[in-house]
Structure 1
């Protein structure tokens, strides 16, 4: 096949005839413009040009093959003939300062806990990537509460227990795991690392940790599955498509590729307002468009890729899901005792108590507080052994995980900390983050007097303060009187 030239592509640079180059191939996206979830503007910015750099962090590599008809695949392009836009590589003062910080990052060995990775990520990640990963809904009260709630639970240790050998391994949904936590589904991995979610896959294999594959991954589903090794366990997180046939194909393909369970997201009929993400998107648009009336303020990376999600999803769909797969079914995003009981009655295998990392409904309760309420309700109905219960959101320490296990959780999902570790130190960072948690878990098991996870129960914790809410994320005492915790020091600038 004769390659197209850059000049051939450049003439198709309008909404009436829009061609783009992605990974050395040309595509006619003219008819797709009105359907693009992120709007026409971003595609038109790259009309007649190479759009690979913008495409990669947001889309799996097989997106165009899946959603663009073969007739719109125009063939290979002679990339030597493609003109490089001079403005594409302009480095402003803020970016130059960020790159300097990247060159002076603390050694990985100086990261002693999960919050250290977050601190380094905040200072070294690209602005748009940090905004997407770190943002929460509205005033971010729930985002902060997710972690703060763990601070209101206190241990009641046992003494004189032989804890020379402790075992932190467990079984979740019938699959063995070296730890009672898993790598939960988080979207757009390539925003933080050019390899994307496969970095998490490799690290999970090295440490015996289960990975949940996200619907909105930057890598394709098959790329992530292909990266697993041996008998590594993977689960599928699902945003339900309005087109149920698409959903059926996704689920059954995942099952055929060996996924061990299906986690249906039920807390996102519409994605929340994540204002840091939205402002970042607006800043990019504002640089190009000065007319306030033409700027779409409602978009961020999250909303731009999620318009397919079905807001009509309801309990009546559960029997259908059970009819199309033999995988255990988990409802991801349960937020009340009433719905937990209903989940048992509908015959699902597990529930995940979650407020979507504080990214959906602000002032939703933390998962750890919901766990106290839900387990009490399940026990009252005699349902506590009929369903597995998981939690996620705000977990940063081994003590957080143990508190959840004591209160009845089967396992704990961790998302952002592994993204921050991946974004700063790559696979080695994720491995170290997991190892730090393992070390904390083993140490604290000894300190509270338990040999194995099955020994833990609610008598090991005091939850009398769990409902003492405060919507104030900071106060003068903690800001002024207490000494700030030291984070990993950056190297001195020798430039």
Structure 2
């Protein structure tokens, strides 16, 4: 896997790696070390968490078809996203308030992504600012900024302008969160941003000074007070009018919304159910992906997140038409366990698994992964 150059040619994280061989081991350790309310915030899904389980289990209902003698002496993971080169299609999704997981938070996440030469997406609800991540993370790998449309359009516009000025390569508009879903773990714990941390992108803005005010029972209540519940497709037109950056629509889960987003001129479609944290009993993202890819019909790139836990999952998503696959919780567990080194190790494990899976399926390049290597498990079980 191609990586950003290191001055002495050695992996600066290698001596810090944990003795883990699977991504799930990072999850187990993170569960044991994070405060209960913080772990609950990051790990939980909406209501009964059926879709949270489905996001992962749906990958198990897809099988990879082993292909032989395909000339895989060299397996190339490199690709492009929105025209920018990255070392791998495995990219990092936005997750909020990363300094609750590790003191270095989003800066550490950004440094690891820069070292691995892959894409990081910074959350609106970050505990490190747009500028801080840009200045401290370094590297030439791309960064995107995830955006919520707030009631105060002036604040929303300022966020976009700051991201553009700081060198972010795209605006990822989250379209699936006019209001936050019901998350029982947060209701039980009353999760709030700890008093020693801030939502760094809003420092100095009086409108955001009340996050820990008693009138907000949870962070969800605070968010609901700020989000614009009236958001509609017309807001995409407004967003396009204030930025030259490509706009990615994140939260698309059907062909109808994909087509509407394309009609509004987006540059990419991101299949996501918000980590199954919004509406329960929705389909798994990997199951929705083919419908969206078919609707898009190569007009723009399609991305997906949700439930990815190993390199084989990534390969399945690529075969079904994803240009890039975004991981949220796995990168966050790596961060919680071991900061920069933890994120780097998680990305390395996933990429090694992806490379091997590609070799065994006869795929020498991520740019040419045929849909035929993925089949429903039921196809084989029905013949037994």
TM range, smaller chain: 0.7 to 0.9
In structure 2, the CA distance between the partners of 1:222 and 1:451, relative to structure 1 (3 Å rule), is same
Q: How does 1:61-460 map to 2 (within 5 A)?
A: 108-281=17-190, 299-376=217-294, 378=295, 383-460=296-373
Q: CA deviation at 1:157?
A: 2.4
Structure 1 gap ranges (5+): 1-106, 285-295, 469-495
Alpha-carbon separation, structure 2, partners of 1:465 and 1:344: 33
Q: Secondary structure at the residue paired with 1:455?
A: coil
Higher gyration radius (CA): 1
SS in 2 for 1:130: helix
TM-score, length of structure 2 as denominator length: 0.86
| Kept after mapping to 2: 8 A contact 1:137/1:272 | yes
Secondary structure of 2:283 counterpart? coil
- Deviation at 1:332? 0.6
Q: Deviations over 1:45-102 (max 9, x none)?
A: xxxxxxxxxxxxxxxxxxxxxxxxxxxxxxxxxxxxxxxxxxxxxxxxxxxxxxxxxx
3-state DSSP of counterpart to 2:236? helix
Cα deviation digits, residues 163-187 of structure 1 (max 9, x gap): 1110011101111111102111100
The whole-number CA distance in structure 2 between the counterparts of 1:276 and 1:244 is 31
Q: Distance in 1 between matches of 2:191 and 2:263?
A: 45
| Matched residues, number | 345
Runs (4+) off by over 6 Å:
none
Higher relative contact order, structure no. (Cα contacts within 8 Å, ≥ 6 residues apart): 2
Superposition deviation, residue 465 in structure 1 = 4.4
1:110: Cα distance to partner? 2.2
Q: Secondary structure at the match of 1:390?
A: strand
TM-score (norm 1): 0.67
Conservation of the 8 A alpha-carbon contact between 2:192 and 2:218: no
CA distance in 1, matches of 2:191, 2:257: 37
CA distance in 2, matches of 1:455, 1:283: 45
Q: Structure 1 residue 306: deviation in Å? A: 4.9
Q: Distance in 2 between matches of 1:246 and 1:266?
A: 17
* Contact kept? 2:149, 2:227, Cα under 8 Å: yes
